[in-house]
Amino acid sequence: MASDTPAPERYDGFDRMPIGGGWRAGRAGKTATDTDPYTGETLTEIPLADADDLDEAYATAKEAQREWAARLPSDRADVMRRAARIMEARKDEIVEWHIRESGAAAPAAEFEFAITLRDFHEASSYPYRVEGRILPADIEGKESRVYRRPVGVVAVISPWNVPMHLSNRSVAPALALGNAVVLKPAGDTPVTGGLLLAKVYEEAGLPPGLLSVVIGAGRDIGDAIVSHPTPRVVSFTGSTPVGKGIAEKAGLKKLSLELGGNGPLVVLDDADLGYAVDAAVFGKFFHQGQVCMITNRIVVDAAVHDEFVDRYVERVRGLKAGDPREGDTVIGPIINGKQLEGIQQKVAQAREDGAEQLLGGDPTGPIGSVLPPHVLLGSNDVATARQEVFGPVATIIRARDEADALAIANDTEYGLSSAVFTRDTLRGVNFALQVEAGMTHVNDSPLNDENNTAFGGEKESGLGRFGGEWAIEEFTTDHWISVQHTRRQFPF
């Protein structure tokens, strides 16, 4: 039954950002143009922030956080619950922004809406899940207590590929636990990655100054947001090289880093091939392959390799690439020209490395930003298998047997997400336990990492974990307080 409640008036004012408790233009003297990656249409123009704006954001956050941390748990939980209701009321508006700004096809835009909504619901429970401890003491009359306190101010730096969720999975728990946040979204998605989220929080009644969104050039605020003395935690999702740079510049701060991936999806000789093909198609081509936990390599046992390849190519050939506004489109535009060029270079290099291209084609669309799905056969050494592609390019690798498949899966510097397919659950779990990754799925797509409450990587794929109980650990700190109830004798 359709609701009689009228849709709320759409948000506007995305040419300004919330800094220090009010919405205003940045002071850098430069303006960024936010465009639709499919049509090239200008969505908004934003006067950028500079280091002075960042200083103001941090100073206001530090001041506002003290009062916020002293609030009752119910006050902070209520903001998250109201934000969830606002998201639901504004679903069409939010989904449309994802399609227009990030180029997400409808299934990806709906998916991101759902997991961002889940972020708010999960965060509403955090104020009641913070627990202290009473520790034993070997001194008569002494009591040792450990309190969990918010860290203070958190810096969040988020990417463009799943912008709203990858911002909010840190912003929501940090705020719910009594912290303030300064958020720097990616330049390609300033609205969905930051400004739209800030509007939701503002409407939900979050006190001014607790969330600032700074949009600026990397050379103006990129280093400063990390090296600034105010934040105690830096939460970053993005590339491994940038993550390493943050680790060098952050100083004595707690870091939560989710970095690059090169996810293997392994198909063993007893797998349900039809099911494995479906999972591998979804796991590779969802959101044009622009997800860090996407399947980058498909490793298939030689006994079923040829049949798998035939079925896979047939399925991929039927995927529609084009306008993300059309409901049956699966593959929309690549986010920007630089990213598209990088994907094409990796495909060309893979062919030079000896890979056989079974499917592909040139970019299409109004501005030539839609890359059709590519399927290549190659070894683990070709460029599209050796490197994170971050685009609609699948590389299928033949493995001699299970042991060889495991060796191939682990032959990468990354260790984020992975999957294995087999009809034998025990075999799958034993295989998964040997994969060098933060997450391994048995008979499911790696993208279902996003349906879990906690995830993270190993090796070059990151540091720390996001979500669930880990979020409480990341955004709070222990404060040990001892109480001596009786007079004691001191040595001198």
Catalytic residue numbers, as ranges: 258, 292
Tokens of 34: 């936010």
Tell me how far CA of residue 362 lies from CA of 13, 341, 368, 371, 374, in angstroms. Answer: 37, 11, 9, 6, 10
Query: Which residues pair with residue 317 across a beta bridge?
Result: none
Contact 392, 289 (CB under 8 A): yes
- Please state whether beta strands 374-377 and 356-359 pair in parallel, antiparallel, or not at all (unpaired): antiparallel
For residue 384, the Cα-to-chain-centroid distance in whole angstroms is: 22
Give the 3-state DSSP-derived string for 471-487, with helices as H, strands as E and coil as C.
HHHHHEEEEEEEEECCC
Q: How far apart are CA 100 and CA 346, in angstroms?
A: 27
What is the spatial distance between Cα 285 and Cα 273, in angstroms, rounded to a whole number? Answer: 18
> Does residue 135 sit in helix, strand or coil?
strand
Q: Six-digit token pair at 102?
A: 């990030």
CA distances from 343 to 152, 346, 393 (A): 40, 5, 8
Write the DSSP symbol of residue 300. Answer: E
